[in-house]
A and B are shown apart, each in its own frame.
Chain A
Amino acid sequence: MKYWSVFVVFVMVLSSCSTDDSKGSVSYEAMPTPLPLNIPPVFQENVLGPIIPNNNPQTVEGVALGKKLFFDTILSGDETQSCATCHSPQHAFSDVTPTSAGIDGDFGTRNTMPLFNLAWNYGERFNWDGSDLSIERQAITPVENPIEMHSNWEGVIAKLKDHPEYPELFKKAFGELPISKTLTTKAIAQFERTLISGNSKFDNYLMGEVDLSPQEQNGLNVFMDEARGDCFHCHGSPSNPLWTDNMFHNNGLDAVFTDLGLGTVTGDPSDNGKFKSPSLRNLAYTAPYMHDGRFETLDEVINHYSEGLQNSSTIDPLMKKVSQGGVQLSAQDKADLKAFLLSLSDPSFINNPDFIN
């Protein structure tokens, strides 16, 4: 009797094989190759893993396509600007001017944000005002913004479809799916997620490979001292080497707001004047500073927190001694704080050949 059972199973297996074969010849479509992010040791040891959407996994082909798109002027209306025009690799993917000019010469109102470690933005609110809720969505806006690339997606997709290389690159990255805005921004987002910076002098100090100078060490102490800099509540710490809390704060730039920041997005007056805490990595390459690029130097930034705070109804309670203009750092503490901040810059990031066209 039990032989019958074995026989039935055997027949079912054969039948199963036969069914597959009956579909005819199998086409072996090349699948994109998974490409895990290169996570720095200081991140692995200290913070949660990166955010990668299930519907847009990192692949070799997707990243290669995204990189080509990022540096390609085909995305702009008159084909004079690429993403990299404003997000310049040698400036940690930011711009050297307070705000950036679009293809028509018009300037926006916000400083170009640097691009690195974007996959560790856990709240997934991007831009100074948190207006885009994913990297993929962020990549949509500049293409059609009239004061940026001033193009339209319909035209961009048509050009990509007619291009001698892109159709094959899209096919390698996404298979037979037709070229679309969604796939284009997915590819760009994949490339942007690879822009990882975690090899600064301070990272190497955390790994026990180098020492800080006495000046940098005192600067760290100023940064971490609630009675002096108190920078750590918003800008991370050696235990949070992202050097940002990824949150939004009013850091006392203005008594009267000309730009409502997060308040524009949420419609909540208590969010007026709040902007995203930028990471303090790579400050050596990302001047000018603040959401409107008002400060040309790090000294100006430090002076702002020390003596230049402007009171307003939404100023963050973490801003100390507002009535005196700030925390009143000594000249020595200011110089040391600056030295420490510069130790967070990562030359290997701006010179990484994978990130340069």
Chain B
Amino acid sequence: MKKIYPLILLVMLSLSSCAEDLDDNLKAAVTTQFNFTHNWNGLPVTAADFNTVKFANENSDSLSIERLRYVISDLTFTREHGEQLIIEGHHLIDVSEDIGLVYSPELEIPTGLYTNVSFTFGLNNEYNAQNHLDLNSVSFNVPEMLGGGYHYMQMDGKFIAASGEEVGYNYHSIRAVDNPGSNPTFPQDTFFTVDLGAINLENNATFEVKMDISEWYKNPNLWDLNELHTVLMPNSEAQILMRENGQSVFSLGTVTQ
């Protein structure tokens, strides 16, 4: 019997020790999933809505969408004192092909209060200059004469021009560039941060990230497709307008956990 007492004591101490760790040092980590949904002024949009002239932008241009794909990067969870947990890398969303609409980062996130969840629309300049085999493989590149790197977004479709004819448009967002050629210059960054807001992460969480496509055409710059519908990649002014309009495109939808 004397031998059993030390054993019981040891077990009690072990259990007590575990409890302290869980409370004070070890935070549980949870998985996150980001579901990208798309709408036009609140009406849901999927690939099934593509290829038909069924949308009207703020400038009253009737238009279709035939191709929509974009890249996001550096998903970031920010704590109260500015500490950031950054999931490095990028994720391509191709609405037209129903590819990448769900993004499930491998990295698990500690539970707790985060003052902001954010991501980069497009790629920051340093990352954009790197070689990304997956983006090369789907021809998402920007020509070297325009600085190289990758598209941030490729939205193609057709609109009814003022002449009444159906005309193709290519709303392609890239890093704004001037002086195309061997020594291009870059007037302003055009990737931007999308803030989704605060979250108290308690369990595995699913975030809905909503893109209101109509916002690309209206806020704050009223977009006239008759004026700006193609060859926008070498047009730095158009790229800066896209960046400005992009600020109100994304919002946080439902969060479940």
A232–B157 alpha-carbon span in the complex (Å)? 18
- Check if A200 is an interface residue, CB within 8 A of chain B: no
Q: Does A45 contact B (CB under 8 A)?
A: yes
In the complex, the answer to whether A232 meets B139 with C-beta atoms within 8 Å is yes
Interchain CB contact under 8 A, A237 and B169: no
Is the Cβ of A318 less than 8 Å from the Cβ of B139?
no
Judge whether A46 and B234 touch: CB under 8 Å.
Answer: no
Would A237 and B141 count as touching, CB distance under 8 A? yes
Q: Give the residues in chain A near B50, CB-CB below 8 Å.
A: 270
A232-B143, A270-B51, A318-B170 given as contacts; is B134 within 8 A of A226 (CB)?
A: no
Contact B139 A245 (CB under 8 A): yes
Query: Binding site of A, secondary structure by majority: helix, strand, loop or mixed?
Result: loop
Given the contacts A316-B168, A317-B170, A48 and B144 also touching, CB distance less than 8 Å: no
When the two chains form their complex, are residues A48 and B134 in contact, meaning their CB atoms are under 8 A apart? yes
Query: By the criterion CB–CB under 8 Å, are A240 and B139 in contact?
Result: yes
Q: Would you give the 0/1 interface string for A309-333, flagging 1 where the beta carbon is closer than 8 Å to chain B?
A: 0010111111110110000000000
- A225 adjacent to chain B (CB < 8 Å): yes
**Is A238 in the interface zone, CB < 8 Å from B?**
yes
Which residues of the other chain, A, contact B234 by a CB distance below 8 angstroms? 226-227
Whether, in the assembled complex, B131 has its beta carbon less than 8 Å from a beta carbon of chain A, the answer is yes
B51 / chain A contacts, CB cutoff of 8 Å: 270, 314
- The yes or no answer to B233 lying at the interface (CB within 8 A) is yes
By the criterion CB–CB under 8 Å, are A227 and B137 in contact? no
- Asked whether B145 lies within 8 Å of A225 as measured between CB atoms, the reply is yes
Q: Note all chain A residues with C-beta closer than 8 A to B137.
A: 47-48, 120, 122, 240, 242
Q: Is the CB of B168 within 8 A of A319?
A: yes
Least CB distance, B57 to chain A, in whole angstroms: 15
- Shortest distance in angstroms between B236's beta carbon and chain A's nearest beta carbon? 13
Cβ–Cβ < 8 Å partners of A48 in chain B:
133-134, 137
**What's the nearest-Cβ distance from chain A to residue B186, in Å?**
17
**Residue B231 at the chain A interface, CB threshold 8 Å:** yes
- CB neighbours (8 Å) of B143 from chain A are 224-226, 232, 237
A322 to B151, CA, bound (A): 24
Contact A237 B139, beta carbon cutoff 8 Å: yes
Known: A317-B169, A319-B168. A47 touches B158 (CB 8 A): no
Nearest CB of B to A23, in Å: 44
Q: Contacts A270-B50, A323-B165 given: A234-B139 contact, CB under 8 Å?
A: yes
Which residue from A226, A239, A240 sits with its C-beta under 8 Å from B231?
A226
Q: Does B66 contact A (CB under 8 A)?
A: yes
Instruction: Determine the interface band of chain A, counting residues with CB < 8 A from chain B.
Output: 20 to 34
- In this complex, what residue of B is CB-closest to A228? B231
CB-CB under 8 A from A270, the residues of chain B are 50-52, 66
Minimum C-beta distance from B9 to chain A (A):
26
Q: How far is the CB of A207 from chain B (nearest CB, A)?
A: 15
CA distance A242 to B66 in the complex (A): 24
Residue picked from B50, B67, B137, B230, most chain A C-beta under 10 Å = B137
Contacting B at CB under 8 A, from A237-277, are: 237-240, 242, 245, 270
**0/1 per residue, A187-211, Cβ < 8 Å to B?**
0000000000000000000000000
Chain A residues with Cβ below 8 Å from B230 are 226, 320
- Residues in A neighbouring B168, C-beta threshold 8 A: 315-320, 322
Q: Counting CB contacts under 8 A, is A221 at the interface? A: yes
Chain B residues whose C-beta falls within 8 Å of the C-beta of A234 in the assembled complex: 139
Instruction: Compute how far the CA of A221 lies from the CA of B51 in the bound complex, rounded to whole angstroms.
Output: 31
Q: Do residues A236 and B139 form an inter-chain contact, with CB atoms below 8 A?
A: yes
Cα of A224 to Cα of B184 in the assembled complex, Å: 15
**Chain A stretch 288-327: residues in CB contact (< 8 A) with chain B:** 311, 313-320, 322-323
Is the C-beta of A233 less than 8 angstroms from some C-beta in chain B? yes
CB distance from A267 to the nearest CB of B (A): 14
Residues of A within 8 A of B133 (CB): 46-48
Measured between beta carbons, the chain A residues less than 8 angstroms from B52 are: 270
Q: How far is the CA of A356 from the CA of B114 in the complex (A)?
A: 63
| Shortest Cβ distance from residue B151 to the other chain A in the assembled complex, whole angstroms | 9
Known: A221-B145, A317-B156. A227 touches B139 (CB 8 A): no
Q: Can you report 24 A-B residue pairs in the complex whose CB atoms are below 8 A from each other?
A: A45-B131, A46-B136, A48-B137, A120-B137, A122-B137, A221-B145, A226-B230, A236-B139, A239-B136, A240-B139, A242-B137, A270-B50, A311-B166, A315-B168, A317-B66, A317-B156, A317-B168, A317-B169, A318-B168, A320-B168, A320-B231, A322-B168, A323-B165, A323-B167
Q: CB within 8 Å of B: which residues of A?
A: 45-48, 120, 122, 221, 224-227, 232-234, 236-240, 242, 245, 270, 311, 313-320, 322-323
